[in-house]
Amino acid sequence: MTRNGACRCTTIALFEFLVLEGAQAGLSWSTILPKRDAYRRAFDRFDPEKVVRYNKRKISTLVADASLTQQEEESFAGRRKRDVQR
């Protein structure tokens, strides 16, 4: 943040926050934060340009991934929000 409160975040940092926030919905941050590295691997280091190209097969693989929270709606909110922005 700058002194006047403006965010100097990168697109990747903002997308990471969006994905983790979606996964956290209804859960404790203490549940999500230990899985941050697993989310980073699963979501191609939070690269929105890669995530937006995920097909149904890739999404199904992620939904079945035991290292992530098993809440499909929350886990893929970030992808859907990215789609809307395009």
Residue 1 covered by a domain: no
Residue 2 covered by a domain: no
**What's the pLDDT score for residue 1?**
59
Note down the domain range covering 21.
11-85
We report the CATH number of the domain holding residue 64 as 1.10.340.30
Residue 4 covered by a domain: no
Residue 32 covered by a domain: yes
- Measured CA to CA, the distance from residue 27 to residue 33 in angstroms comes to 11
Considering its fold, how many domains does the chain have in total?
1
Q: How far apart are the first and last CA of the chain?
A: 26
Residue 17 covered by a domain: yes
Residue 78 covered by a domain: yes
Q: What is the mean pLDDT of each run of 10 residues along the chain (86 residues)?
A: 73 91 88 94 94 91 85 54 54
CA angle 31, 38, 58 (to 5 degrees): 120
**What's the pLDDT score for residue 12?**
93
Whole-model pTM over 0.85: no
